[in-house]
């Protein structure tokens, strides 16, 4: 396959009228602007929602190599598992991600009030926040943000419209039953 006309590094994938040829998706995203690209199938108006993917986060390698970060992450994901179990294992990945995003709204974007789309999300948020307040009270807020952002990143990558992310954390993290205590669900099939 041919290389991108701009960077000459990646495979060309998109036809660009600005350069009169084919470019890679990364260069397309970097060159894209409203004046010159409006009408192009790849151009979209900026999303007014928060950019959760741009929040600082620990990499999976950093998380894997640090038992302290793993313990903090396990407390949060264990709390999500516990809430899921307490509500009949009916939560979808998108709800878990929404709870994580609301926590990022609080800790990273410093929103003083939280608006919930429904009572279920509100209860899940309250439970995970209570875990953070109890189990991670000694952890600096900047670190909590990076941990939440890393968890959200992984959840978003694992989610495929069902319970894919939740099945993984039920199996490998387990539900939180007390500070530092989790129960693994190896026979979880939800």
> Over the stretch 86-111, which tens digit does the pLDDT of each residue have?
999 999 999 999 999 999 999 999 99
Using CA atoms, how far apart are residues 92 and 103, in angstroms rounded to an integer? Answer: 17
Helix (H, G, I), strand (E, B) or coil at 16: strand
CA distances from 145 to 77, 107, 133, 189 (A): 14, 6, 13, 30
Indicate the pTM of the whole model: 0.72
d(CA 49, CA 156) in angstroms, rounded, equals 16
Quick: pLDDT tens for 131-172. Answer: 999 999 999 999 999 999 999 999 999 999 999 999 999 999
Q: For residues 146 and 57, is the Cβ–Cβ distance under 8 A? A: yes
């Amino acid at each position: 396959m041919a290389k991108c006309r701009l960077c000459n590094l990646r495979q060309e994938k998109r036809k660009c009228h600005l350069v009169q040829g084919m470019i890679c998706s990364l260069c397309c995203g970097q060159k894209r602007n409203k004046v010159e690209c409006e009408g192009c199938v790849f151009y979209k108006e900026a999303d007014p929602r928060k950019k959760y993917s741009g929040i600082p986060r620990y990499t999976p390698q950093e998380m894997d190599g640090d038992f302290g970060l793993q313990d903090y992450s396990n407390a949060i994901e264990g709390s999500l598992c516990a809430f899921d179990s307490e509500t009949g294992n009916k939560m979808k990945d998108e709800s878990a991600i929404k709870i994580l995003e609301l926590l990022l709204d609080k800790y990273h974007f410093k929103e003083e009030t939280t608006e919930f789309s429904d009572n279920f999300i509100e209860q899940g948020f309250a439970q995970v926040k209570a875990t953070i307040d109890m189990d991670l009270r000694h952890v600096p807020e900047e670190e909590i943000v990076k941990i939440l952002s890393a968890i959200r990143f992984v959840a978003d990558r694992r989610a495929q419209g069902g319970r894919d992310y939740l099945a993984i954390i039920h199996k490998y993290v387990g539900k939180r039953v007390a500070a530092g205590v989790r129960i693994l669900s190896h026979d979880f099939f939800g």
